[in-house]
Chains A and B, each alone.
Chain A
Amino acid sequence: MTEKSFMAGFGGQGIISMGQLWVYCGMKEGLEVTMFPFYGAEKRGGIARAGCVVSTTEIASPLVTTPDSAVVMNEDSLPLCEGIVKQGGTLLINSSLVKTETKRKDCRVVKVPCNEIAEKIGDGKIANMVMMGALSKVTGAVKLDKLEPVLKSFFPPSKHRFIEMNLKAIEAGKSAV
């Protein structure tokens, strides 16, 4: 199994954190992982992106050019993501912020109202965690089960009080698809 995912959104939506946590959980589940955060001069206000690969075998290219799954967190990222997602792949769309319909007919489209779900749980900022739950359910690549100890080792102790809410968001994301 090799799952290549591409995640995009605006700076501040926690795209890089989502990518990082996705591969961290994958690593803890015994997978080979790699994550390349796009870095560039347009950090401020531009599109934040991360390419993630998780695999049961050695990972070849860390550069994700034709992802199996693409995560679209905001409207601006849609053209970018639908331009590269693999035929037969999956487009995961944050329908709270993305209103345009995708032009792609040859791949599976999964809409998740991430911000609405996150706000119901208590904080719009964890929309990225909702999406990560959905990504897990749809791809099955990273299971995201027995997550609590994993999150405890990922976040510094000062952030442990947010773990419960993050867990809820991930679960809600899983159930939403």
Chain B
Amino acid sequence: MAEEKRLMKGNDAIGEAAIRAGCTAYFGYPITPQNELTAYMARHMIDHKRTFIQAESEVSAINMVFGAAAAGARAMTSSSSPGISLKQEGISYACGADVPCVVVNVARSGPGLGGISPGQGDYFQATRGGGHGDYFHLVLAPKSVQEAAELTFEAFDLADQWRMPVMILADGMIGQMMEGVTFPEPRDLEKLPARPWAAGGQYKTHRPINHVSSINLVPDELEAKVHERFLRYEQIKKKEIRFEEVNTDKADLILVAYGTSSRVCLGAQQMAKALGIELGIFRPISLWPFPYDRIAALAAKGKRFLTVEMSMGQMVQDVQLAVAGKAQVSFYGRCGGNIPTEEAVLAEARKLLGK
């Protein structure tokens, strides 16, 4: 029987979902607005007799994840923007060594220390491979506490399946707000996917030794390795693109937004409807891989786009790439920790539509 709905903060729900997904090792460092998540893991990982460490820094935390995951654990770390910047080095190594793990960013407003209020200014960093070298990793953006739990639960499987870090890109709103949430049944730790490539346990099978490493000084070999990884990326683009659409068939103007700003857009869309104005919503859930093709198809039908973000305009560049000059792409954003209001988004849309 399904469990009862619980009222939880996004941060707590992400923690509970991770534990149920079979996360056996969590490493974190305090930072607002994700502190409840680290505190949740402190209490519950200890109760479950799993590994919890408050690391001395985010640099350490991500490298603890690297080690734990390389040794076979379902490992996770979480932080917010300034801390995620510090983790980029470790994420690059995890990508270079094909080490699966889950990284949660409850993003705030930057740059630098910036503020602790919600932000979406980490889009470029998240989707372009924020560290050094040629790589990408999955990035999933929840819009609600329920979806934050679901995507976190799935992220562990996706990480194993594609052998890469999976990032949950939330923001301070998703982390701090409380909503009703239900959780899937906890994973049986005995039945998690095997990791034959991981370090440790050689004595059981006498397999050849494993090296979990990103280094290769032979250009042709390294190039082959990167090519192999990019072939995997092509597979991911075929299978893992996720998005949600509302009213895109009827509307001429489509609001494109992810996470918190997509909720605001939905509010604006409903207000517009009450005024007899049709607006559509296109919400990317996977930010990498980005749903370029679907947006291109909408553009080909003559739709126009208004991208709404809590930044100065980052995802809007992907929308522009998708439409390749064939449709009008406008932008509306707030930053500094401000969240666009439904009223402002509606006003922007009406201006574009001239009604």
Contact = CB atoms under 8 A, between A and B. Distances in A.
A–B direct touch in complex (beta carbons closer than 8 A): yes
A23 B178 contact: yes
Contacts of B339: 63
Interface in A39-53: 39-41
Contacts of B144: 34
Q: What size tier do the contact residues of chain B reach?
A: 20 to 34
A37 B176 contact: yes
A33 B7 contact: yes
Q: What size tier do the contact residues of chain A reach?
A: 20 to 34
Most buried by B among A33, A34, A35, A37: A34
Nearest to A20: B178
A2 B176 CA distance: 21
A32 B263 CA distance: 14
B177 interface: yes
Contact of A24 (B7, B116, B172): B7
B343 A65 contact: yes
Interface string A13-36: 000000010011001000011111
A54 to B, nearest CB: 11
A61 B343 contact: no
Interface string B254-272: 0000001001101101100
Contacts of B260: 62-63
B342 A39 contact: no
A1 interface: no
A32 B180 contact: yes
A170 to B, nearest CB: 18
Nearest to B270: A60
Contacts, number: 68
Contact of B173 (A20, A24, A63, A65): A63
Nearest to A62: B177
B82 to A, nearest CB: 15
A66 interface: yes
A60 B281 CA distance: 12
A-B interface, 10 closest residue pairs, ranked by CB to CB distance from nearest = A60-B267, A61-B267, A60-B266, A36-B177, A35-B178, A65-B341, A61-B264, A27-B180, A34-B179, A24-B7
Contacts of B152: none
Contacts of B263: 59-63
Nearest to A51: B177
Nearest to A36: B177
Contacts of A61: 263-264, 266-267, 341-342
A40 B173 CA distance: 12
Contacts of B7: 20, 23-24, 27, 33
B33 interface: yes
Given A60-B270, A61-B266, A65-B342, A39 B5 contact: no
Contacts of B266: 60-61
A158 B260 CA distance: 36
Nearest to B341: A65
B176 A60 contact: no
A11 to B, nearest CB: 16
Contacts of A27: 5, 7, 180
Nearest to B181: A27
Contacts of A41: 116
Contacts of B179: 33-35, 59, 62
Given A27-B7, A61-B264, A66-B343, A35 B177 contact: yes
Interface in B227-284: 260, 263-264, 266-267, 269-270
